[in-house]
Amino acid sequence: MSLILMIDTSTEKASIALAENGTVLSHLVNAEQKDHASWIQPAIRSLLQGSDLSPTELAAVAVTAGPGSYTGLRVGMATAKGLSYALKIPLIAVNTLEAMTVAAFGEEADLYCPLIDARRVEVFTAVYDRNLHPVIPPTAMELKDDSFKDLLNNHRILFFGNGHEKLKRLVSHDHAIFSLLEFDVTYISGFINKKYNLSEFADLIYSEPEYIKEFYINTLNKT
């Protein structure tokens, strides 16, 4: 039995789920981004108790590693690593953009482009084909009216995620498909279970969030 706790706190909506052999047993969602840190631990406890399960029955913990909200990524990764270490079980870390793309495979397109709002006109994004091979690897991008122009000339691209509205205001192309598809971890239970079966585990000591961009803190000069 592969009972896996899945955690995503990388964007404005956090979600956790329990899945057994790739089948979701239960899940919880938090839509208040500022509350992710205070929500996550009680939510995990509630999820396990509601399913009449003990943490010791978990086979692994999976977490979306980013990119996304800096604070959210730290909350999710710290929680997942802490549980993995305490329970002596594997950690599975997946790129958030990859996870979003797996969730979008139910919609028809040649290429898939998840976009995570990174403030102003910038997004975290990537472009994947149907085999999840990166055509454009994960990156921070400043959107312009010619963004993805070369790819759009030859491919139907599905744009989705909470940053897709920014692009929609700039780009008009017959091959551009814009979707309101929302992501949570229940969409990737099979994807996570496959990684577990293949023993694709993260290094518990060295795993860290995939920020892509450096986190800057402005400080005032004292006089």
Q: Is the pLDDT of residue 5 over 70?
A: yes
pLDDT in tens, 127-184: 999 999 999 999 999 999 999 999 999 999 999 999 999 999 999 899 999 998 889 9
Is the peptide bond between 209 and the residue preceding it cis, with omega within 30 degrees of 0?
Answer: no
Give the closest residue to 72 by CA, choosing from 162, 187, 178.
162
Residues 17-30: what's their mean pLDDT?
96
Q: Is the pLDDT of residue 219 over 80?
A: no
Judge if pTM exceeds 0.95: no
Confidence of residue 217 (pLDDT cuts 50, 70, 90): very low
In this prediction, residue 56 carries a pLDDT of 96
The more confident residue out of 128 and 32 is 128
In this prediction, residue 214 carries a pLDDT of 62
Distances from the Cα of 203 to the Cαs of 67, 81, 168, in angstroms?
Answer: 18, 10, 38
Q: Rounded mean pLDDT of the chain?
A: 92
Domain 108-178 has CATH 3.30.360.10: no
Q: What does the alpha-carbon distance between residue 186 and residue 172 come to, in Å, rounded to a whole number?
A: 32
| Strand 3-8 versus strand 60-66 pairing type | parallel
Top-level CATH class of 3-96+184-197? alpha beta
In this prediction, residue 42 carries a pLDDT of 95
DSSP H helical segments within the chain, as ranges?
Answer: 36-50, 70-87, 96-104, 149-152, 164-168, 189-197
Under 8 Å CB-to-CB from 135, ≥6 apart: which residues? 111, 127, 128, 129, 151
Q: Which amino acid is at 130?
A: R
pLDDT in tens, 39-63: 999 999 999 999 999 999 999 999 9
List the chain domain ranges: 3-96+184-197, 108-178
Same fold, 3-96+184-197 and 108-178: yes
In this prediction, residue 159 carries a pLDDT of 97
